[in-house]
Amino acid sequence: MGWKVLFTDHVFPSIEPVQDELDRIGAELVVAAGDREAVARAAADADAVLNTYFPLDAELIERMGRCRIIARLGIGVDNVDVATAERRGIWVTNVPDYCIDEVADHTLALVLALLRKLTVLDALTRAGRWTFEPARPIPRLANLVLGLVGFGQIGRRVCQKSKAFGLHVLAYDPYVNPFAIREAGAAPADLDSLLASSDVVSIHVPLTAQTRHLLDRERIARMKPGAYLVNTSRGGIVDEAALREALDRGHLAGAALDVLEHEGAHWESPVRGHERVILTPHVAFYSEASVEELQRKAARQVVAVLSGAAPQHPVNRPAMAG
């Protein structure tokens, strides 16, 4: 049968790994080009949809007449209306295990850059000033507490790797047994205690209705004076206006964000240009190896569903599927 698979959007130098997997069932891969209406027209008769960042809301999903699976190339599914897909009998899948080391490494790179004042020192040296005085104080890492908000696969890997630097780790995750947190090398804590005790707070939770602006003005105010905030999860978890206020009044010493609430070509943020903020362009997931793994694992779930099997990583249970 001639399957049609739509790729709504991607940011990859090559999508050859996706094509390789779809070739196993002779599926035609169509890459969308254009605006929302162009995507909607292409999706109308697609048997499967591969999706990266393009927002798939209820109205778009309702127009998918033949779709059996929406396979998100990533961990989060906050840009897909999962409930509508489930009601329509469409599987929604993610790839929860493809960039664990990359995101953990990027998180710790941001932590180290903040604590060791690398951007400040780089700017001073580039300007011809052979001094570290403006970067002081610089703390000893082994005396500091790293607080992890979220203790899934990435949070655990950050915990594991941070031990090499002597950091003491606290972890908050209401969905993880405290015994499992201790077994992984962290001390369990409630959110308020973690915020008050941590020298660095690092975010590792998905973006949901419950976690949107989890770090709001009130919770940021509860953070330890002089602490740092790191976010490599989703931008919507942090209220960036409240973060800017905390930085401006000196309550927080700095922040490092790989994700922002508004991303893309015309991105903007209240913390843009702040001298004590490090920004990277949603790149924590990236390595050549992780991107190939991501594409193959997402495409294999499409192949499984179109072949009559259940996907490996479903995030819903559509009653009509299969």
Active site residues: 234, 263, 282
Strands (E), the chain: 4-7, 28-31, 48-51, 69-72, 91-93, 145-149, 168-172, 187-188, 200-203, 227-231, 252-257, 277-279
Round to whole Å and give the CA distance between 134 and 34: 48
Burial of 268 (0-12, 13-18, 19+ CB in 10 A): exposed
With vertex at residue 98, the alpha carbon angle to CA 92 and CA 104, rounded to the nearest 5 degrees, is: 125
137 CB-near residues (< 8 Å, 6+ apart): none
Round to whole Å and give the CA distance between 27 and 19: 9
Rounded to 5 degrees, φ, ψ at 261 are: -65, -35
Burial of 4 (0-12, 13-18, 19+ CB in 10 A): middle
Round to whole Å and give the CA distance between 170 and 182: 9
